Structure 1
């Protein structure tokens, strides 16, 4: 696949322009966009840049991080702090994401989204207030392993790291998670299935297939 060099700011602008014309596939009022990538790829940074570019264009948006929907430690760490299968399949509360983020944005939904549910540091509910996303506003959800679920995204962006870059940029204390991302690549092929691919081996010089 041919990738072209680009800056992060220019990439955000081009994605924001694309979102201005994006119609939800289900006929609803809120486009839903995925920024998928390992933590070391920092997909949330791109989501925030796109949100700012949308703001300048007069389009509301809401950035939501999947890390705000982790399960309680008693559940996600039931088999230990470094259990690969638990990390891959059970750390994130996908039911809560459906209930609190996606369902309110269904056709005829309320538009009231819970931006986060659980604080992994305090291991307590965040008690964040609901946010009302106006009709036409974009949901920008970021996090790892998102494309292995059947979330109803209208546009998917995958921020890719090569195996070498992934190992270099992942803190050594988190190297135990690397087999989960290798499995994700093998089973889901996010680079091949995402609508937009961004390669970020050098965080100063991204490239994309737009």
Structure 2
């Protein structure tokens, strides 16, 4: 799957005036979007495209805001965890059309619950910037390509660890309100993790 997606991305140029192609790898944690994004990035240099991975969780809000309604509130998980403005300001806009071409690799340390002191890094010219994370669509983030890891509701309930089941209503709401499958350019069907299937749509359909 990583090879197939790397082939597709290698043939997709950035927008005119942009430094890099901005790619979301969107899916619930149990589908491991970070693992797939890393595997894709590792394959792209051999295809002539530099790549970097910037996890969305590095742009989550401080715990005082993120967990204001408790650690297991599905509505807060849906609306309050990701600082979409910071991700846009520090990552997506700078490597997009007219931007300076550098990005901030991480903004917030979740374990220490404090800002990370790091400097912007240059994106590879003509390269690909992958942002793995959850619930990334429908909130106005300027991605050029979206890869969505689809896990159907029944499969989510079957596969999710018991201590994480509280989050399931957030993903049900995401399906109902955003319909991430319809918005994505590539959908990886991952009900069975050992037998993924790829469906192309959007710019690749």
Q: TM-score, normalised by structure 2?
A: 0.91
Structure scoring higher RCO (CA < 8 A, sep ≥ 6) equals: 1
Give the aligned partner of residue 177 of structure 2: 187
Cα separation, 1, equivalents of 2:155 and 2:17: 39
| 2:146 matched residue in structure 1 | 156
1:134 and 1:67 map into 2 onto residues whose CA distance is 22
Alignment partner of 1:31: what SS? strand
Match of 2:40 among 41, 50, 59: 50
Task: Report Cα offsets for 1:60-101 as digits up to 9, x if no partner.
Answer: 111111111111111111122222222111111111101110
Partner SS state of residue 157, structure 1: strand
After superposition, the Cα gap between the structure-2 partners of 1:107 and 1:192, relative to the gap in structure 1 and judged at 3 Å, is closer
**Cα separation, 1, equivalents of 2:54 and 2:190:** 21
For 1:135 and 1:198, the matched residues in 2 are separated by 28
How far apart in 1 are the matches of 2:178 and 2:44?
29
Give the alignment partner of residue 79 of structure 2, picking from 65, 83, 89: 89
**1:7-26 pair list within 5 angstroms:** 11-25=1-15
- Preserved contact between residue 37 and residue 53 of structure 2 (Cα < 8 Å): yes
**Partner Cα separation in structure 2 for residue 156 and residue 103 of structure 1:** 16
Could you say what the CA RMSD is over the residues aligned between the two structures, in angstroms? 1.5
Secondary structure of the structure 1 residue equivalent to 2:44: helix
Structure 2 counterpart of 1:126: 116
What residue ranges of structure 2 are gaps of 5+ in the alignment?
201-205
With 30-39 and 13-22 compared, the bigger mean Cα shift is at 13-22
Number of aligned positions between the proteins: 200
Look up the match of 1:106: 96
Structure 1 residues 26 and 89: alpha-carbon distance in aligned structure 2, compared to 1, 3 A threshold: farther
String of CA shifts for 1:152-176, please: whole Å, max 9, x gaps: 2111111011222212322211211
Tell whether the 8 Å contact from 2:150 to 2:188 is kept in structure 1 after alignment.
Answer: yes
